[in-house]
């Protein structure tokens, strides 16, 4: 929070399921009730993904629950939300996803300077063997940290 950011939700499975490459940051087009719901700290990125269309980039399957005090003017929880990027960034994403097996994975949803932002990266899905290697590396690091702490 020292740099003016307030994290709402992170996608912890993304680093486990994907090998991540280039990272990006984009603003999100939201309605008023969505912003209020996010300020309460409720959202889910677990099943979300970023989709490149002809007319722009969208965040799909990100769940922002309805605002409790919204009344009749509430929003649909799982609607597609437009991401705000420069043309050069969109072209970089387009070229990245044209490679076999590459996808765009949302990592974090947060407020930065009062504006809602999403952080995402180009990623390639890991195979089961790679996931086992990640777990083994994590366990060995933990063991090493314990040994160093005991000394």
pLDDT tens digits for range 34-93: 888 888 888 888 888 888 988 889 989 988 888 877 777 788 888 889 999 999 999 998
Q: What is the mean pLDDT of residues 16-44?
A: 87
Q: Which two tokens stand for residue 110?
A: 């947060």
Question: Quick one: pLDDT at residue 25?
Answer: 93
pLDDT score for 111: 92
The CA distance from 102 to 125, in Å, is 7
Q: What is the pLDDT of residue 85?
A: 92
Q: What is the 3-state secondary structure (H, E, C) of the chain?
A: CCCCEEEEEECCHHHHHEEEEEEEEEEECCCHHHHHHHHCCCCECCCCEEEECCCCEEEECCECCCCCCCHHHCCCCCCCEEEECCHHHHHHHHHHHHCCCEEEEEEEEEEECCEEEEEEEEEEECCHHHHHHHHHHHHHHHHHHHHHHHC
Distance CA 11, CA 131 (A): 16
Q: Tell me, what's the pLDDT at 83?
A: 92
Q: What digits encode the pLDDT tens for the residues 86-131?
A: 999 999 988 888 888 888 999 999 999 889 999 999 888 877 777 7
Please tell me the predicted confidence (pLDDT) of residue 118.
93
* Per-residue confidence (pLDDT) for residue 97, from 0 to 100: 87
Looking at residue 27, what is its pLDDT?
92
- The closest of 18, 119, 109 to 62, measured between CA atoms, is 109
Q: Residue 56: its pLDDT value, please?
A: 87
Instruction: Please state, as a whole number, how many other Cβ atoms lie within 10 Å of the Cβ of residue 50.
Output: 23
Question: Distance between CA atoms of 18 and 138, rounded to whole angstroms?
Answer: 16
């Amino acid at each position: 929070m020292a740099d003016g950011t307030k994290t709402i939700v992170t996608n912890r499975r993304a680093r486990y399921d994907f090998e991540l490459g280039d990272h990006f940051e984009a603003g999100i087009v939201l309605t008023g009730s969505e912003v209020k719901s996010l300020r309460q700290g409720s959202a889910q990125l677990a099943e979300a993904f970023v989709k490149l269309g002809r007319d722009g980039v969208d965040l799909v399957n990100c769940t922002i629950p309805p605002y409790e005090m919204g009344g009749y003017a509430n929003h649909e929880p799982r609607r597609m939300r437009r991401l705000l990027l420069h043309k050069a960034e969109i072209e970089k994403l387009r070229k990245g996803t044209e490679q076999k097996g590459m996808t765009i994975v949302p990592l974090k949803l947060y407020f930065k300077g009062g504006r809602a932002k999403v952080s995402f990266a180009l990623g390639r899905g890991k195979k089961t063997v790679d996931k086992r290697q990640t777990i083994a590396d994590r366990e060995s690091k933990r063991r090493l940290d314990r040994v160093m702490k005991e000394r």
